[in-house]
Structure 1
Amino acid sequence: MRIGLQTWGSEGDVTPFLALAAGLVRRGHEVRLVVTDNARRDYRRHALADGYELVEVPLPGADAQSQERLWREVLALSNPLRQVEVILRHGYDPAAPAMLRAAHDMVARSDAVVGHFFAYPLRIAAEHAGVPAATLAIVHNCIPTRERAAPGLPDPGRWSHGPGWRLAAWILNRIFLPRYNGQRHAVGLPPVRDTMTGAWASPLLNLVAVSPQICRRPADWGPNHVVAGFLNPADAPVRPLPDPLERFLAGGDPPVFFGFGSMMPAHADARETIALWARAVARLGCRAVFQLPAALLPLVPQDPRTCAVEWADYRLLFPRCAAIVHHGGSGTTQSALRAGRASVVVSHIADQAFWGQELERLRVAGPSQRRQGLRARRLQAAIRAVLDDPALARNAARLGAAMAEEDGVRVAVEAIEGRLGKGVLP
């Protein structure tokens, strides 16, 4: 089959599609991947290594300064809905017309397409052309179910879940439907009435890129919802750890990892965050690995207990750490759990707080924190709760061992072949 893929967002939104593209190619499919990365990261080496076509649709004006301004504005807000509005207005809407043009072009040469659940231009182009389309979600709180509360709402009991999801739908519709229906109208398609069921979810196939150890499939989900598992490039070559990091790890007790991923673009805010980490480490008296963009490495105080790196392969680093302090991105969250390590989630935006709640529910994390207003004493206490509770470590090791047996890419590829068309291999 000729299969088109489209995604938008940060590295955590793109990596599952890199893994899926590689898996589809291994099954004999012809793959084109369209990427809009809000930081303009370069994924060409992945496409060259794995044998698929990569098309980059850049976000207009996505230079370092504009991204710093965007995230400074987002992180200054405590209301997740207002954060989403700002992200969409500055980080999505400017790219949407070009994303739609790229989607039309890809659909014209595809037998089936799979898009990030936020990538509504692909859904529109596919419906307009009559091409089968699936969605891929990197979090499992975007599909309604009576078995869990809607995201961001309290959970007083199962009786509240239905009304809660209706409230969530009303809120999301106010944010997303004008955008979605505006582009539908432009190509002559009728409007839809609900974001989650009409824009994000496909009636054919919705892949949930979350381990079934985390997301037990709700009984009220239809057969079009498939919990595939974590989609990470498991077959990608393992890159050795940098020599200074390797020497640091070999020279003492397992450290605590600190890394907030794409949530650290703003220089001034990063300085304060690094100081927060350093104070927490000093209070704990532990060793630590700080992961930061290269431009921020000089801001890390010189301390023999700390090693600062720009990049490290989590598959090699996380199993050698005592705990993982991170922002609650889907990829980092599942990488930590797959390594069998307990976490402390410091959420910055939107779904990150949900990931923290999920890890606490599974008893594999300390108390979740919010970045806004966080103090070293609270961060230190949350990390200490992980280091001092062997049950959390045992739970994380058990779930990590189970996740290591999963093959999310295989499940996703077989679902695409089975529900969107006949696979080329038996």
Structure 2
Amino acid sequence: MKILLVTRGSQGDIYPYLTIAAALVKRGHKVILNLPQIFEKEAQAYQLDYVLQDFDDIQGMVSKAGDKDEGAKPYLKWMRDVIDAQFKQLVPLLKEHDVLIATNSEFAAASVADYCGKPFIRTAFAPFIPGRRIPPPIFPYPKPHPVFTPRLIWKLLNIGNNYMTQKTINKNRVQLGLKPLKNCGYYSTERAFNYMLYSRYLGNTDSDWKYKWDIGGYCFNDALHYDADAYQELLDFIQREQRPVIFFTLGSCSAKESDAFCRRLINVCRQLSFRLIIGSGWSGTGKSLENEKDIFLLTHTIPHSLIFPHCDAVMHHGGSGTTHSVARSGKPQIIMPLIIDQPYWAYRVQQLELGPKCIKIGKVSDKALKEKVNDLVTNPVYRKNATKVAGQMRDEHSVDNFCDFIESMADKI
């Protein structure tokens, strides 16, 4: 088959697609990967055929996501510009391929598949399917609510989605000779086969989902190239003493309070006689603290699979990729959610008792922070549950699951 893969976002969105593309090529398929410009080196390292996205400011958008002063206007303009660029770029690409596979954030994908008359597989790293039981993963309060039921929240989200995208999508559909859509919010879910790229043992599914869907697990990328010297320095730090080590990162996100939070976390770790690794990420979290005692500032990209097994616990932003990586390592975790699906994963970690209730990075008191960090590292319940989930996830064979499913589409082409 000739397969077109389209994804954008941070490392947790791109790295699984690199793994999937490489596996499909190994199976003998012709694959083109459409990805953000900042990940070109990674695509080259995998020796993949790729096309860089025409409109690409994803790093800037993600790094600003935790800054409330930015508001929604920059994101709204960015999204509409992306939709226009996708119609222009993806139509000629898909005409040369048999099937389109794209993440749920690619709002033009369903209409592009319509115009080209090709099958469309929509992937998601959280339960982004409207239903009765699970609220939208981007909803900041994922707990059950007597008034704001999941169905109501999905309807409200649909209204917002239509406001953000419908005018731009329909403008492009009309230009292509397609009928305008009355409801863009649900159209991609209805048009596509929805494949959940997260673990059934970590996320959940809704038995009332009426759309076509399957779930196969998060496709980990353990083959990333990394700086061996930087990794050895990290191991030397970890193995230097027997005291517990915590890994802290905000991944691709930033927050105004991040540096202040790092200082507070350092003080807490010293009081508890813990050591701390700070994963700097895109936004440079903790860079001003690199000379602090008992702290290791990680500025290089090293696969989580090589780091987390050596740590005693992980504190992070709650991206799907990081949440799954910690869970697979069998380590307790606590999440400090900032944007998108991070509150959902924070709630799942709490529900599964893989770690304490989430931390609000700008609101938690020093006393509460100390209690949570100590509980995270010392509570045997978290370790026991994390070990169980890790064993389940390691048996999922997620990449093979997805590749098998893609190949099953051959009968429909």
Q: TM-score, normalised by structure 1?
A: 0.85
Q: What CA distance in whole angstroms lies between the structure 2 residues aligned with 1:301 and 1:204?
A: 47
Name the SS of the counterpart of 1:5 in structure 2: strand
Please list, as runs of the form range in 1=range in 2, the aligned pairs for 1:371-382 lying within 5 A after superposition: 371-382=361-372
CA RMSD of aligned residues (A): 3.0
Q: Quick check: 1:122 aligned with 2:119?
A: no
Cross-structure match for 1:106: 93
Alignment of 1:15-414 (within 5 A): 15-36=15-36, 40-49=37-46, 51-59=47-55, 62=57, 67=60, 71-72=63-64, 74-77=65-68, 85-86=72-73, 88-140=75-127, 142-151=128-137, 152=139, 154-156=143-145, 160-199=149-188, 201=189, 203-222=191-210, 224-234=212-222, 240=228, 242-252=231-241, 253-264=243-254, 270-293=258-281, 298-311=287-300, 312-414=302-404
Shift of residue 373 of structure 1? 3.5
1:214 to partner: Cα distance: 1.9
**What's the offset of the Cα at 1:271?**
3.4
1:240-287, Cα deviation, whole Å (9 max, x unpaired): 4622211111112340000111113x8x76533432332332343311
- For normalisation by structure 2, the TM-score amounts to 0.88
For 2:6, the equivalent position in structure 1 comes to 6
Distance in 2, matches of 1:175 and 1:377, equals: 41
Q: Percent identity?
A: 20
- Relative to structure 1, the CA distance from residue 55 to residue 375 in structure 2 (aligned partners, 3 Å threshold; closer, same or farther) is farther
Higher alpha-carbon deviation: 389-398 or 288-297: 288-297
- 1:343 CA drift (Å): 0.9
Change (3 A) 1:222 1:306: same
Give the distance between the partners of 2:270 and 2:179, measured in 1 at CA: 59
Aligned partner of residue 242 in structure 1, secondary structure: helix
User: In the aligned structure 1, how far is the partner of 2:148 from the partner of 2:39?
Assistant: 47
- Per the alignment, do residues 415 and 32 of structure 1 end up closer, same or farther by CA in structure 2, a change over 3 Å counting? same
Whole-angstrom distance in 2 between the partners of 1:259 and 1:383: 14
* Equivalent residue pairs, number: 406
* Distance change >3 Å, CA 391–CA 296, structure 1 → 2: closer
Structure 1 contact 44–54 (Cα < 8 Å) conserved: no
Counterparts of 2:210 and 2:27, CA distance in 1: 26
Q: Secondary structure at the match of 1:75?
A: coil
SS in 2 for 1:230: coil
Alpha-carbon spacing, 1:332–1:293, altered in 2? closer, same or farther (3 Å): closer
Task: Deviation per CA, 1:209-266: give whole Å up to 9, x if none.
Answer: 10011234432235721111011224557874622211111112340000111113x8
The SS at the match of 2:38 is coil
Once residues 79 and 12 of structure 2 are traced to their aligned partners in structure 1, the CA distance between those partners, rounded to angstroms, is 16
